[in-house]
Amino acid sequence: MLKEDYIPRLIDKKIRESLEDFTAVHVRGPKWCGKTSTAEFFANSEIKLNTKKQREGFDQMYAADPGLFLEGDKPRLIDEWQLYPAIWDEVKNYADEFHLKNQFLLTGSFSPKTGVTNHTGTMRIVKIDMTTMSLFESGDSTGEVSLKSLFDNPTQKIKVVLKQERKDVSRLIAKGGWPEGVKNPPHNILSYGRQALNDICDTDIQEASGKELSPITTRVLLRSLARTLSQNVDNKTIIDDVNKSGHPLAENTFYDYYNALLRLFVIKEVPAWCPSIRSKTSIRSLPKKEFFDPSLACAALGVNEEGLEKNFRTRGFFFECLVGRDLEVYSKAFDGEISYYRDRLGLECDFVIHLPDGRYGLFEAKTGDKYIKEGIDNLNKFVTLINKYNEENPKSKMELPTVRAVITDEKYGYIDEGGVFIIPIGALRD
For residue 108, tell me if it sits in a domain.
yes
Neighbours of 212 (CB within 10 A): 6
pLDDT digits (tens, 9 = 90+) for 393-425: 999 899 999 999 999 999 999 999 999 999 999
| DSSP type of residue 176 | -
Percent of all residues in the chain with a pLDDT value above 90, rounded to a whole number = 76
pLDDT of residue 286: 84
Q: Write down which residue in 129, 163, 195 finishes a domain.
A: 129
Q: Assess contact for 364 and 407: CB atoms under 8 A.
A: yes
356 and 398 in a single domain? The answer is yes
Residue 120: pLDDT band with limits 50, 70, 90: low
Beta bridge partners of 129: 28
Report helix, strand or coil for 423: strand
pLDDT of residue 285: 77
pLDDT digits (tens, 9 = 90+) for 10-67: 999 999 999 999 999 999 999 999 999 999 999 999 999 877 666 677 888 888 888 9
Domain limits at 357?
145-429
Rounded distance between C-alpha atoms, residue 346 and residue 378, angstroms: 9
For residue 282, tell me if it sits in a domain.
yes
396 and 370 in a single domain? The answer is yes
pLDDT digits (tens, 9 = 90+) for 71-84: 999 999 999 998 89
| DSSP type of residue 272 | B
pTM of the model as a whole:
0.93
pLDDT of residue 110: 80
Q: Assess contact for 263 and 113: CB atoms under 8 A.
A: yes
For residue 138, tell me if it sits in a domain.
no
Determine the average pLDDT of the residues in 168-185. Answer: 93
pLDDT of residue 133: 98
Q: Which helix (H) or strand (E) holds 259?
A: helix 251-263
Rounded distance between C-alpha atoms, residue 303 and residue 11, angstroms: 30
Determine the average pLDDT of the residues in 166-189. Answer: 92
Q: Assess contact for 330 and 430: CB atoms under 8 A.
A: yes
Q: Write down which residue in 97, 129, 161 finishes a domain.
A: 129
CA angle 211, 215, 218 (to 5 degrees): 90
pLDDT of residue 76: 97
Strands 360-366, 348-354: pairing is: antiparallel
φ, ψ at 81 (rounded to 5°) = -60, -30
Domain CATH code at residue 85: 3.40.50.300
Residue 119: pLDDT band with limits 50, 70, 90: low
pLDDT digits (tens, 9 = 90+) for 184-222: 888 888 999 999 999 999 999 998 998 999 999 999 999
Rounded distance between C-alpha atoms, residue 80 and residue 234, angstroms: 32
pLDDT of residue 88: 92
388 CB-contact burial (10 Å; exposed 0-12 / middle 13-18 / buried 19+): exposed
Question: Comparing C-alpha atoms, which of 67, 129, 90 is closest to residue 331?
Answer: 129
Neighbours of 58 (CB within 10 A): 19
Q: Assess contact for 405 and 150: CB atoms under 8 A.
A: yes
Question: Comparing C-alpha atoms, which of 329, 336, 348 is closest to residue 406?
Answer: 348
Q: Assess contact for 14 and 115: CB atoms under 8 A.
A: no
Residue 280: pLDDT band with limits 50, 70, 90: low
pLDDT of residue 231: 81
**Distance from the Cα of residue 229 to its chain's centroid:** 14
Q: Assess contact for 398 and 389: CB atoms under 8 A.
A: yes
Higher pLDDT, 343 or 390: 390
Q: Write down which residue in 100, 129, 158 finishes a domain.
A: 129
Alpha helices in 277-393 (DSSP H): 294-301, 305-310, 312-332, 369-392
Rounded distance between C-alpha atoms, residue 236 and residue 231, angstroms: 14
For residue 6, tell me if it sits in a domain.
no
Q: Provide the mean pLDDT of the chain.
A: 91
Residue 369: pLDDT band with limits 50, 70, 90: confident
149 and 120 in a single domain? The answer is no
How many structural domains does the chain have? 2
Ordered strands of the 24-28 beta sheet: 45-48, 76-79, 104-108, 24-28, 125-129
For residue 74, tell me if it sits in a domain.
yes
118 pLDDT above the threshold of 60: no
